[in-house]
Structure 1
Amino acid sequence: MTLNANQLNFSQLNIDEQRIYSALQLVIDPEIGENLIDLGLIYGIQIQDNIAKVTFTMTSQACPMSEMVIENIHDAVNQTLADNMVLELDLVWEPAWEPELMSAQAKQRLGWD
């Protein structure tokens, strides 16, 4: 299932996508201190055949922690995948991330409400 950042809805995901979603909730942006789901950085989760694809962005193209975030996504999601599954990470810059993509909870925790 391909998802839009504003449409990520746990209840609409299949069980494998839910596992990936839950794993991504554990990945914290080291600069902001919020998880990638609540920040709206995850643009899509798609499982087709034996490939699990996560489409995501960063808060900025100049993010100094991008390699760490990518490694953390890889580690967290791979722990949830069956042995025959392959993880594909797709870092995109369009659409650009903006604070409006954050969940209401993240906005409140960060004082953006």
Structure 2
Amino acid sequence: MDPDTGATDALVVLDVPFQRPRPHHVLTLRGSTACGDAELEAAFDRVTRAGVPLIVDLAGLVFGSELLLGLLLAARHTTTLILVGPVCGSFQRRLRTTGTLHVFDVRPTLTEALTLLPC
């Protein structure tokens, strides 16, 4: 918790399914994935079972765990996956250290990510 603002790094996961212009899900992550393993796994399970393209917005993430990395790697094998950044420094280091940064398509805005969805 930030003593000045009272803010916490608790994980907030927002899963929004869309039908237009094409079926897809936007999974927005805020806070730290170190604080919400069960919620994170449930959201990825729900979304990947839907079988539609997935956009994961990481712009509000302050810490991304190895669990998140594993879920992202698994998701890219089952669906179209696009990430929205900027990616926080600690998670970007995790991606570089594991040699996985290049396997993800990271876009600066949700609008740009949406243009990449398959027709």
TM-score, normalised by the number of residues in structure 1: 0.30
Higher Rg? 2
TM-score, length of structure 2 as denominator length: 0.29
Which structure has more relative contact order (CA 8 Å, sep 6+)? It is: 1
